[in-house]
Structure 1
Amino acid sequence: MENKSAWLLIAIGASLWGVIGVFVTYLYEVGFTPLEVVAVRVLTASIFMVPYVLMKNRQLFKIKVKDSRYFIGTGIISIVLFNWCLFSSMRESSISIAFILLYTAPAFVTILSRIFFKEALTARKLTALLVTLIGCSLVIGIFSSSTASISLYGLTLGLGSGFFYALYSIFGKAALSKYDSLTVTVYTFLFATVAIVPFSGLGSKLSTLTDLKVLGLVVGLGFLSTMLPFIFYTKGLQYVESSRASIIATIEPVVASVVGFFIFNETLSTWQYLGMIMVISSVIIVQESKKQKANRPQQFDQAGA
């Protein structure tokens, strides 16, 4: 796969993540809590993923027991804790502040990738990172929420969401050095499901889940905004550096803002439009020139294996 195709897969995956607000908002309206939505998300994704992988190639389920550590990393440490921190941060502070802190993830990825994968910390990468962080801050409306206060606990939760979000790229990259992207994705959700569903209180919503409208929202959340984007993102991660993938994926808040405008009639400010342009520009900045691509070794970095 060429790098441009990998970049496209990551961008599509991030765009599908960007529409998650539609399903989550309506699930909140029918009485679901953030923890229950997270449980629904990983459980439904698992239900879709397992048959798909079985039909495609059941050999993909074969893993070594000792390698479960990778999926504890992607599924429990990253996916479960990232969602918990994000939703808790929203409650403790505000949605705007929570998402600003969430998108510190590329900074964490860049630093961790340098430490674990020895990825180069280039001027291009740092420039794209800076533009992305500023752009994301504008997109989520930092200026309109400038008077909002945040406690130390809220700040810790917000940074935690960014850190755990970043860890998916780190753990995922290590797992991809040994396993197919589908193997990584399906075990990520299986481990997450086992970890969160028994403690989520989802059992109290069984009667609600029989409603066709709610069932449609659950399917949309689990398939369109979870299974597909993680397959695309993880596949693209096989051919793109973790830090670059994480920066490209920050197109997500741009899509989320567009969805909010057309579906929920949320008006965007001039600053938010400027932020969208900056985030999109960072995707262009992070791409290598043909000369750089020719000089780079044709393999992806691996964790010490």
Structure 2
Amino acid sequence: MKRIAYFSVMCAAILWGILGIFIKKLYGFGFNPFQIVAIRAVGAFAMLFLYVTATDRKLLRIQLKDVIYFIGTGIISFVFFNWCYFMAIHYTTLSIASILLYTAPAFVIVFSTLLFKERLTSRKILSFVLTFAGCILVTGFFQQTGNSLPMIGILAGLGAGLGYALYSIFGRYALKKYDSMTVTLYTFLFASLGLIPITDFQGMYPLFSGVDVLFYSICLSLFSTVLPFIFYTKGLNQLETSRASIIATLEPAVATMVSIVVFQEHITSSRMMGIVLVLAAIIVVNENVSVEEKEHIPLNE
């Protein structure tokens, strides 16, 4: 079962990694960042609602007291993460924002150790270090010029990492009571509601004027939103939260390969080294050896 869970999370990372293909097309049609996030959330909710209604309506049932979990995954995580990420890009650069975003596994490791009593092992720490180093190389941090970064940009980037991490935390709690399909469905319902006050929905209507726009919107909602969130949530049901978060950092490596293959962007030796480090981190964290149990690092050390 765990091998399937590993595979599920890796599939999610790969699908998130091709996100740029659809986003780039939608930018070309005139959509702004929050409108694209709204397309993701509303489109994903509509697809999941139709599917669940047609196949198993029992999955629609939740208890009112558990709404807090889906406010967590949908608004506190999905909406907050996207808002912070776009802020970080605005005040810094895309590569620096990406690096700060991938502090998420560190947040997940801390929360998982405190909340779920997951073991903090040297293997996990090594995996995070490899992941973070790999992301720095993949995003081309060392090619940036200038040393001065505005504090608001740094805080926004760290906020994006925190928001990204919180999906794993709230999702873990929700999965104790609900099917992964239910968790994903209500995540995007509350994300859609949370986007209402900050998104120009009226300005979106004239942009849906051609078949191409609809096609790429559906692709974005299905292939880079619905399916990866289902895969990740399913994997989260079987794996330690910290492991799942580290495996998901395969995403920037995939995104880099997409930029090279699809958009013919220049590949550098440092980027290739970054991809290798991210893959190495995934191999390290997936090693299922008994010695890991002996590597426990107590919290008071």
TM-score by length of 2: 0.94
* Paired residue secondary structure (2:249): helix
Identical columns (%)? 45
Cα deviations across residues 232-281 of structure 1 (Å, max 9, x unaligned)? 00001000011000000000000100110111111111001000000001
1:107 is aligned to: 106
Residue 289 (structure 1) aligned with residue 288 (structure 2): yes
CA apart distance, 1:148:
6.0
1:242 is aligned to: 241
In the aligned structure 2, how far is the partner of 1:204 from the partner of 1:198? 14
2:53 is aligned to: 54
In the aligned structure 2, how far is the partner of 1:199 from the partner of 1:132? 33
1:303 is aligned to: none
Q: 1:27, 1:214 within 8 Å by CA — same for their partners in 2?
A: yes
1:270 is aligned to: 269
More moved, 123-132 vs 141-150: 141-150
- 2:23 counterpart letter in structure 1: V
In the aligned structure 1, how far is the partner of 2:12 from the partner of 2:56? 22
* Paired residue secondary structure (1:129): helix
Cα deviations across residues 89-133 of structure 1 (Å, max 9, x unaligned)? 111110000000000000000001111111110111111111111
CA apart distance, 1:294:
10
2:71 is aligned to: 72
Q: 1:93, 1:148 within 8 Å by CA — same for their partners in 2?
A: no
Consecutive unaligned residues in structure 1, runs of 5 or more: 296-305
Change beyond 3 A, Cα 1:141–1:243: same
In the aligned structure 2, how far is the partner of 1:120 from the partner of 1:223? 35
More moved, 93-102 vs 17-26: 17-26
2:298 is aligned to: none
Change beyond 3 A, Cα 1:146–1:138: farther
2:13 is aligned to: 14
CA apart distance, 1:290:
4.7
1:92 is aligned to: 91
In the aligned structure 1, how far is the partner of 2:291 from the partner of 2:52? 36
* Paired residue secondary structure (2:3): helix
2:146 is aligned to: 147
- 2:32 counterpart letter in structure 1: T
Q: 2:31, 2:207 within 8 Å by CA — same for their partners in 1?
A: no
Equivalent residues in 2 for 1:127-276, closer than 5 Å? 127-147=126-146, 149-276=148-275
Equivalent residues in 2 for 1:21-36, closer than 5 Å? 21-36=20-35
Change beyond 3 A, Cα 1:293–1:210: farther
Consecutive unaligned residues in structure 2, runs of 5 or more: 295-301
* Paired residue secondary structure (1:40): helix
CA apart distance, 1:182:
0.5
1:300 is aligned to: none
- 1:51 counterpart letter in structure 2: L
CA apart distance, 1:199:
3.6
CA apart distance, 1:287:
1.4
In the aligned structure 2, how far is the partner of 1:145 from the partner of 1:222? 33
In the aligned structure 1, how far is the partner of 2:268 from the partner of 2:142? 10
- 1:41 counterpart letter in structure 2: R
Structure 1 consecutive aligned stretches of length 4 or more whose deviation exceeds 2 Å: 146-149, 288-295
- How many residue pairs match? The answer is 294
Q: 1:88, 1:157 within 8 Å by CA — same for their partners in 2?
A: yes
- 2:56 counterpart letter in structure 1: N
In the aligned structure 1, how far is the partner of 2:196 from the partner of 2:20? 21
Change beyond 3 A, Cα 1:257–1:148: farther
Q: 2:121, 2:292 within 8 Å by CA — same for their partners in 1?
A: no
Q: 2:108, 2:165 within 8 Å by CA — same for their partners in 1?
A: yes
Change beyond 3 A, Cα 1:133–1:293: closer
- 2:179 counterpart letter in structure 1: D
* Paired residue secondary structure (2:238): coil
Q: 1:3, 1:239 within 8 Å by CA — same for their partners in 2?
A: yes
- 1:187 counterpart letter in structure 2: Y
In the aligned structure 2, how far is the partner of 1:86 from the partner of 1:148? 20
